[in-house]
Amino acid sequence: MSSTAQTNIFDQLALLFSKEQRNILRRELHNENKVHLYRLGDYWVAFEKSAYLLEQIALTDTDPTVIYMKEHPFPMLMTTINNYRANGLCRRQRNKGHTDYLQINSGKIDLESYNEWYRDNTLD
10 Å CB burial of residue 85 (0-12, 13-18, 19+) is middle
Residue range(s) defining the domain that contains residue 91:
3-122
**67: alpha, beta or left? (left if phi > 0; alpha if psi -120 to 50):** beta
10: helix, strand or coil: helix
Global pTM reads 0.84
Query: How far is 62 from 76, CA to CA, in rounded Å?
Result: 15
67-107 tens-digit pLDDT: 988 777 899 999 999 888 887 777 655 555 567 888 889 99
5-64 tens-digit pLDDT: 555 878 888 899 889 988 999 999 999 999 999 999 888 999 999 999 999 888 666 789
Domain tally, the chain: 1
Residue 75: name the closest of 120, 38, 41 by CA. Answer: 120
